[in-house]
Amino acid sequence: MPKLNQIIAVEKGVKSKVQQDLTAVRRRLDKPALLAGIARTYQPKDEEGEELPPEATRVQVKAEDVLRDTAESLTRLFDVTATKDWANRESRADITVDGRTLLTDVPVSYLLFLEKQLTELAAFVRKLPVLDAAESWSLDPSTDSWKTEAVRTVRTKKVPRNHVKAEATEQHPAQVEVYYEDIPVGQWTTVKFSGALPARRVNELLDRVEKLQQAVKFAREEANGVEVADQRVGDVVFGYLFG
């Protein structure tokens, strides 16, 4: 008995061949001249008349033959698809990760669904925001977010100062240059908060998703390895349609 994965493997080729066969059939039917034939003979008016050979054109395409060929081609596709779909009703497998069985007797159709969803989840996890590695973070229970240690910075204010370049004399006033000096007037205490995730957490989540992806693929392969009973539905269908 064939296995489900073998049936799946040949299904694409069968579909392709059927498509080619149907295209060829349509081309044959699109040429009315191929379906037409003629036979004619010539009879002179009297014995002295010119004798001409008979003419004949054979029918090259018969619609009934086309129906038979079409049924024969499609029967294979109908049988292969039925064999796969009938088997899919019964093919199941467990999903096991690190020796732990998460789900039992999962149908192939759901395994395929899971594969697609997990691919999207992996892309989602890879885009999760990560805490800035340049900072030192700790979890703050009061805000349920991550925070840094307090950092103090001095706040300064520019205060003008006078610099006497030359003292005043009887002839000239004093030469004074104004400059500004930064004078500490206070200090800032800064604590940064973030709702992002530690890189370790993101990597852990991604590792779980990838492990489950592998487990689902293994389960699908196992489910597709089930032996299947060939279904013969094509003859019944086309026996009714073209019989």
Main-chain dihedrals φ then ψ at residue 2, nearest 5 degrees: -70, 165
How far apart CA 49 and CA 45 sit, in angstroms, is 6
Cβ neighbors of 175 (< 8 A, separation 6 or more) are 164, 165, 166
pTM: 0.66
Sign of CA dihedral 102, 108, 114, 115: positive
Measuring CA to CA, how many Å separate 136 from each of 24, 142, 146, 195?
A: 71, 18, 10, 14
More confident residue, 124 or 8: 124
Residue 143 lies in a domain: no
State whether 124 and 220 are in the same domain.
yes
Helices 63-90 & 4-29 angle (0-180, nearest 10): 160
One domain, residues 16 and 54: yes
Q: Please, where are the H alpha helices in 30-62? A: 32-35
| 3-state class percentages of the chain: helix first, strand second, coil last, to nearest 5 | 45, 25, 25
Q: Among the listed ranges 26-30, 116-120, 168-172, 174-178, which one has the minimum average pLDDT value?
A: 168-172
Tell me: do 106 and 78 sit in the same domain.
Answer: no
| Cβ atoms of residues 154 and 129 within 8 Å | no
Q: How many domains does the chain have?
A: 3
Which range of residues forms the domain containing residue 239? 1-91+235-243
Condensed to tens digits (0 to 9), the pLDDT of residues 88-112 reads: 888 889 999 999 999 999 988 889 8
Judge if 124 and 212 occupy the same domain: yes
Domain assignment present for residue 141? The answer is: no
Residues 130-173 have pLDDT tens digits of 999 999 999 999 889 999 999 998 889 998 888 877 777 777 78
